[in-house]
Amino acid sequence: MAAVPDEPLLAAVAVDVPGQDAFTWRVPEALAAVAVPGASVTVPFGPRTVRGFIIALERKTPEPALAGKLKDVLAVRPEVRVPPHLLRLIRWGARYYRCSVGEFLAGSIPAAVREGKTIKVERRLVRVAGFAGKLTARQQAVQAALPAEPLTWVVAMQRSGGSRDILGKLVVAGALVELVEDADVLEVRLEAALERHPHTDEQQVAIDAVAAALDAGRHEAFLLYGVTGSGKTLVYLDLAERVIAAGRQALFLLPEIGLTPQLAARVRSRIPRTVVWHSGFTDGERAELWRRVAAGEVDLVLGTRSALFAPLPAPGLIIVDEEHDQSYKQESVPRYHARDLAVVYGKQLAIPVILGSATPSLESVHNGRERRYRVLTLKNRPRGGQLPTPTVVDMRREFNEAKRRAELSRVLVEALTATVRRREQAIILLNRRGWSPVVTCTQCGVTAQCTACDISLTFHRGAGLLKCHYCGHERGMPAACPACGGTLSATGIGTEQLEQLVRQVVPGVRTLRADADTTGGRQGHAKLLQIFAAGEADVLVGTQMVAKGLDFARVTLVGVLHADRCLSTPEFRAAERTYQLVAQVAGRAGRGERPGTVIVQAFDPEALPIACAVAGRPKPFYDAELALRAEYGYPPSSGLVRVLWTGPAEPAVRAAAETDGQRILDAASPLGAVVLGPTPAALAWLKGQHRWHLLIKAPSRGAAQSLLDALGPLKRHSGVVTAIDVDPANTG
């Protein structure tokens, strides 16, 4: 036996509690060989036994105060290890977004992995439709012998007569896919045209720029600013292939609604060892994915924001598509922004990061102008096809001329009718689900309100319910006003009513609706889009989830209702979101051979975000908006931090906000930061909680961090939850 070292091995272990990053335990010598940073361990924690991750190790004599109290690590699971580079990113993120390392790990490593559940996931194989790659005659015969249904390895071997070795080769070649979940089957059955187009000049310039950084092994952040359909995806995939050929892996992030089976099929047709990573997986599936990624069995991870924390052994390139999208910001602890953290990761790893968008965020445009990001532009669509010039309908004038209040303008009705007659397809977008957003009594004027929120209830006619879209509360729609017995009237329109309206104005039309009410269940969204893509409906009516990432060749008409509604919300990003919505939608029509028509209905069509989006002139919008942000001290001209206090009792919430607010103000003044509030939040009562908040506008992100450092942890107030949100996406 080896001699026992004099000094004990001490492990700093992060556990899932707020406040302190790590606590110290002694590693018994029997476990010393397997205890490595990033490894999952079991430790006694007060009266409980908990799991945590080792974040540092050191041999030293414990301080006398600690020595007596020191307890032993109970177990190490070396098979679950957060790679060192990922651990470094998470530690950085915990510091920047102000939570403990343990909390960040808990929010980024799947529960099943952390808890060490051994879940058996049966791996199954499915044939890829329309696989066009090269195979040997024997491989071809084996592939052809397999049915379209997924089979376990053993059954697949029996059915095809192929050995495990041959099936394995077919997987590597991309002719078979190994599934983690059923829903993937959909994607594998899609035939993705293998794209190997010669690059356009613009694409070549972009690829060369990123490749130069790749070859030199240096970090650089690129903003790939390209109109929809300009061939950004092709650029990503070509670069990813290079990275993979060099033995590293690629991360491809996209917004929640951008993750469609079409895209997954497209990526997989180029890069067979691709896995899709999103929040809809079961625990077992996640654990299995994690294991495969960590084991180096995967070349590309395609996923939503949490995919940033996939344990790739050697990431070589990070792609953040639709970088402006709001879903990159997590709205619960850890409150990270995946795009910003991706850039930090790229810096730490010395690898390039590509942020792509047709409507970049103000932050990224600013970073481009300041030369922190290199801007690469794609101005043209390689397959030709002009971006349609939208028609704007001024709804005030429409009401005057048509002499009635109709939700669908005459132009839009005409265009819809013509589109359907030509057997083409249309998409109509309205950012509100349900039948009517407001239900009022015609006699006493009372509006149906949620009991737990300051929100009026939305009428869902099909379900016969009044629903709160914030907390999920629902109750039956009463026959008469509960207060006075008067008649109830539903005003305003949501997607449910819009779908019916479309059926009325275009007799015989086949409609489909995509919103949170119709896309429930795993991959419900994908299935709906599938039906639409297959031409089984003429008109797709939906909320913003239809605005992005769709690429349907037969869609020649896109309509947007209430395009300017978002402008009246008290959010500093309201103009940016409006611009992005309209500009994105405009890019959706006319992607195929046939030209597209876009019709935008608004009450204030002259509003700059709408006018610029419609005219395809981004610069005046970005210039004006950046100037406004600078004038009012909002990002990207400042470092914004929001502090939010919530609790069931108003006085306690208010007292906490006022006490902490004073301390924050004292810390802010010397750093030149401005503090707004504390005040009740715009949504002052939500999900049964009173809400107070405060905004810190520091001169820069760095200054905001210095301020938070100087402030130190905020006191805990009983009955109140305090949240610090760095770079908030929402301030409502």
Residues of this chain that bind ligand ADP (CB under 6 A): 195, 197, 199-200, 203, 226, 228-234, 382-383
Question: Which part of the chain contacts Zn ion (CB under 5 A), choosing from 315-323, 355-363, 461-469, 628-636?
Answer: 461-469
Question: Which part of the chain contacts Zn ion (CB under 5 A), choosing from 33-41, 111-119, 265-273, 444-452?
Answer: 444-452
Which residues pair with residue 10 across a beta bridge? 26, 58
Q: Smallest distance, Å, CB 473 to Zn ion?
A: 5
Query: Should residue 470 be labelled a site residue for Zn ion when binding is judged by CB under 5 A?
Result: yes
Interface with Zn ion: number of residues (CB under 5 A): 7
- Closer to Zn ion by CB, 411 or 452: give it: 452
- Closer to ligand ADP by CB, 181 or 321: give it: 321
- Closer to ligand ADP by CB, 286 or 548: give it: 548
- Closer to ligand ADP by CB, 292 or 591: give it: 591
Name the binder of 452 from ligand ADP, Zn ion, none, CB < 5-8 A by kind: Zn ion
Name the binder of 497 from Zn ion, ligand ADP, none, CB < 5-8 A by kind: none
DSSP assignments along 112-176, one per residue: HHHTT-------EEEEPTT--S---HHHHHHHHTS-SS-EEHHHHHHHH---HHHHHHHHHHTSE
Q: Smallest distance, Å, CB 559 to ligand ADP?
A: 21
- Closer to ligand ADP by CB, 96 or 552: give it: 552
Q: Smallest distance, Å, CB 232 to ligand ADP?
A: 3
- Closer to Zn ion by CB, 173 or 465: give it: 465
Name the binder of 326 from Zn ion, ligand ADP, none, CB < 5-8 A by kind: none
Q: Indicate left, alpha or beta for 465 from its phi (over 0: left) and psi (-120 to 50: alpha).
A: beta
Cβ atoms of residues 268 and 95 within 8 Å:
no
Q: Smallest distance, Å, CB 379 to ligand ADP?
A: 11
Where b means 16+ CB within 10 Å and e means fewer, 303-324 reads bbbbbbbbbbeebbbbbbbbbb
- Closer to ligand ADP by CB, 267 or 502: give it: 267
Name the binder of 8 from ligand ADP, Zn ion, none, CB < 5-8 A by kind: none
- Closer to ligand ADP by CB, 425 or 646: give it: 425
DSSP 3-state assignment of 316?
A: strand
Name the binder of 226 from Zn ion, ligand ADP, none, CB < 5-8 A by kind: ligand ADP
- Closer to ligand ADP by CB, 107 or 356: give it: 356
Q: Indicate left, alpha or beta for 251 from its phi (over 0: left) and psi (-120 to 50: alpha).
A: beta
Cβ atoms of residues 303 and 311 within 8 Å:
no
Query: Should residue 453 be labelled a site residue for Zn ion when binding is judged by CB under 5 A?
Result: yes
Q: Running DSSP on this structure, what letter comes out for residue 375? A: E
Name the binder of 468 from Zn ion, ligand ADP, none, CB < 5-8 A by kind: Zn ion
Q: Smallest distance, Å, CB 53 to Zn ion?
A: 37
Structure tokens at 671: 């750093």
Structure tokens at 47: 């009266």
Query: Should residue 466 be labelled a site residue for Zn ion when binding is judged by CB under 5 A?
Result: no
- Closer to ligand ADP by CB, 302 or 575: give it: 302
Give the start-end residues of each E strand in 410-504. 425-429, 438-441, 458-460, 465-467, 474-476, 488-491
* Residue whose C-alpha is closest to residue 406's, from 495, 496, 505: 505
Report the DSSP pairing between strands 539-542 and 391-394.
Answer: unpaired
Of 404-443, binders to Zn ion (CB under 5 A) are none
Name the binder of 232 from ligand ADP, Zn ion, none, CB < 5-8 A by kind: ligand ADP
- Closer to ligand ADP by CB, 195 or 606: give it: 195
Q: Smallest distance, Å, CB 234 to ligand ADP?
A: 4
Query: Should residue 465 be labelled a site residue for Zn ion when binding is judged by CB under 5 A?
Result: no
* Residue whose C-alpha is closest to residue 582's, from 627, 539, 548: 548
The span from the CA of 203 to the CA of 356, in Å, is 13
In the chain, what is the straight-line distance between the N-terminal and C-terminal CA atoms, in Å?
Answer: 64
Residue of 155, 185, 186, 452 interacting with Zn ion (CB under 5 A): 452
Question: Which part of the chain contacts Zn ion (CB under 5 A), choosing from 20-28, 198-206, 327-335, 465-473?
Answer: 465-473
Cβ atoms of residues 616 and 654 within 8 Å:
no
Neighbour tally for 670: CB within 10 Å: 10
The span from the CA of 308 to the CA of 444, in Å, is 53
- Closer to Zn ion by CB, 219 or 475: give it: 475
- Closer to ligand ADP by CB, 10 or 582: give it: 582
Q: Smallest distance, Å, CB 683 to Zn ion?
A: 10
Helices 410-421 & 495-505 angle (0-180, nearest 10): 70
Residue of 125, 179, 259, 468 interacting with Zn ion (CB under 5 A): 468
Structure tokens at 391: 């028609």
Measured in degrees and rounded to the nearest 5, phi and psi for residue 271 equal -125, 95
Q: Which contacts of 472-475 are long-range, i.e. CB under 8 A and separated by 24 or more positions?
A: none
- What residues have CB less than 8 Å from 212, skipping those under 6 apart? none
Q: Smallest distance, Å, CB 455 to Zn ion?
A: 5
Cβ atoms of residues 177 and 184 within 8 Å:
yes
How far does CA 6 lie from the centroid of its chain?
50
Name the binder of 382 from Zn ion, ligand ADP, none, CB < 5-8 A by kind: ligand ADP
Q: Smallest distance, Å, CB 132 to ligand ADP?
A: 15
Maximum C-alpha span of the chain: 95
Instruction: Draw the binding track, 144-183, toward Zn ion (x: CB under 5 A; -: no contact).
Output: ----------------------------------------
Query: Should residue 26 be labelled a site residue for Zn ion when binding is judged by CB under 5 A?
Result: no
Query: Should residue 85 be labelled a site residue for Zn ion when binding is judged by CB under 5 A?
Result: no
- Closer to Zn ion by CB, 517 or 604: give it: 517
Q: Smallest distance, Å, CB 203 to ligand ADP?
A: 6
Cβ atoms of residues 355 and 223 within 8 Å:
yes
The span from the CA of 136 to the CA of 134, in Å, is 7
Name the binder of 664 from ligand ADP, Zn ion, none, CB < 5-8 A by kind: none
Name the binder of 450 from ligand ADP, Zn ion, none, CB < 5-8 A by kind: Zn ion
Amino acid found at 79: E
Q: Smallest distance, Å, CB 206 to ligand ADP?
A: 11
Name the binder of 470 from ligand ADP, Zn ion, none, CB < 5-8 A by kind: Zn ion
Q: Smallest distance, Å, CB 452 to Zn ion?
A: 4
- Closer to ligand ADP by CB, 123 or 197: give it: 197
The span from the CA of 698 to the CA of 266, in Å, is 43
**How many CA atoms within 13 Å lie on the side-chain side of 357?**
26
- Closer to Zn ion by CB, 10 or 453: give it: 453
Question: Which part of the chain contacts Zn ion (CB under 5 A), choosing from 242-250, 317-325, 464-472, 661-669?
Answer: 464-472
Of 472-501, binders to Zn ion (CB under 5 A) are 473
Structure tokens at 37: 């940073």
Residue of 56, 471, 607, 655 interacting with Zn ion (CB under 5 A): 471
* Residue whose C-alpha is closest to residue 352's, from 492, 246, 426, 195: 246
Q: Smallest distance, Å, CB 252 to ligand ADP?
A: 12
Q: Indicate left, alpha or beta for 617 from its phi (over 0: left) and psi (-120 to 50: alpha).
A: beta
Q: Which residues bind Zn ion (CB under 5 A)?
A: 450, 452-453, 468, 470-471, 473
